[in-house]
């Protein structure tokens, strides 16, 4: 058998093996892109709340947070600074993750979700963090405090109270929490940038990563 014929046969065999591997992966569901998409969906759902959206999609910041969490409260002004500095250049997504040790963390999330039903998510989100010191770390229910915030925002109070008590609202909060748990979130704040967790999130650490993402 000539050398050229051997090389031709070798190339044909290699091509057939490559085709076989492709068919196997397609049929078995072992598609790396699909796995990535599934993970991304747990980070950002179609109904996830976005405080800003970047058209180019180069930088997506996702925060799992608890409105009663003091560490989240401490990070809040740094996140607001990032929002201002990168206005229109990053997508900023908020996910609920009330911790079981905070008596009013879950009700606070429901209050924000009830405000979102009237198109006022951002305003209630802001109100929760700016007033956290006055209602946080309380063992007694703070529902009336949250109703007061809704009144100050000029919301339809009948609709707000109905949404606040609606099991569907609690389920919406729980859905965010379930996504976080499936991703391994066990504390707040937990922040992801483009799908990668950020240890010890701060203005400086996030700015460095965002700049790299935008430059890529």
d(CA 134, CA 34): 45
36 belongs to a structural domain? no
| The total number of residues written for the chain in this structure | 216
18 belongs to a structural domain? no
175: Cβ–Cβ under 8 A, 6 or more apart, which residues? 45
Please write the tens of the pLDDT for every residue from 142-181.
999 999 999 999 999 999 999 999 999 999 999 999 999 9
178 belongs to a structural domain? yes
Beta bridge partners of residue 198, listed in sequence order = 191
Quick check: 107 and 100 in contact, CB under 8 A?
Answer: no
78 belongs to a structural domain? yes
The pLDDT, as a whole number, for residue 40 is 77
Domain carrying residue 110: 42-215
pLDDT band of residue 95 (cuts 50, 70, 90) is very high
27 belongs to a structural domain? no
Please give the model's pTM, rounded to 2 decimal places. Answer: 0.81
25 belongs to a structural domain? no
Q: How many structural domains compose the chain?
A: 1
Secondary structure (DSSP) of 116-182? HTTT-HHHHHHHHHHTHHHHTT-SS--HHHHHHHHHHTT--HHHHHHHHH-HHHHHHHHHHHHHHHH
d(CA 39, CA 49): 18
CATH for 159: 3.40.30.10
190 belongs to a structural domain? yes
- Token readout for 50 is 């976005």
pLDDT band of residue 54 (cuts 50, 70, 90) is very high
51 belongs to a structural domain? yes
């Amino acid at each position: 058998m000539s050398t050229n014929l051997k090389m031709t046969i070798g190339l044909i065999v290699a091509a057939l093996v490559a085709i076989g591997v492709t068919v196997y992966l397609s049929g078995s569901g072992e598609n790396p892109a699909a796995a990535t998409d599934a993970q991304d969906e747990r980070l950002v759902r179609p109904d996830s709340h976005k405080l800003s959206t970047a058209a180019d999609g180069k930088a997506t910041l996702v925060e799992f947070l608890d409105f009663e969490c003091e560490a989240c409260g401490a990070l809040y002004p740094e996140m607001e600074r990032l929002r201002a500095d990168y206005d229109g250049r990053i997508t900023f997504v908020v996910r609920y993750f009330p911790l079981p040790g905070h008596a009013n963390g879950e009700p606070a999330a429901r209050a924000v979700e009830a405000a979102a039903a009237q198109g006022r998510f951002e305003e209630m989100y802001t109100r929760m963090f700016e007033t956290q010191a006055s209602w946080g770390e309380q063992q007694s229910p703070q529902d009336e405090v949250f109703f007061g915030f809704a009144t100050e925002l000029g919301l339809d109070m009948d609709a707000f109270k109905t949404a606040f008590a609606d099991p569907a609202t609690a389920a919406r909060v729980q859905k965010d929490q379930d996504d976080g748990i499936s991703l391994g979130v066990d504390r707040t704040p937990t922040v992801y940038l483009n799908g990668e967790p950020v240890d010890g999130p701060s203005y400086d650490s996030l700015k460095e990563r965002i700049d790299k993402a935008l430059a890529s």
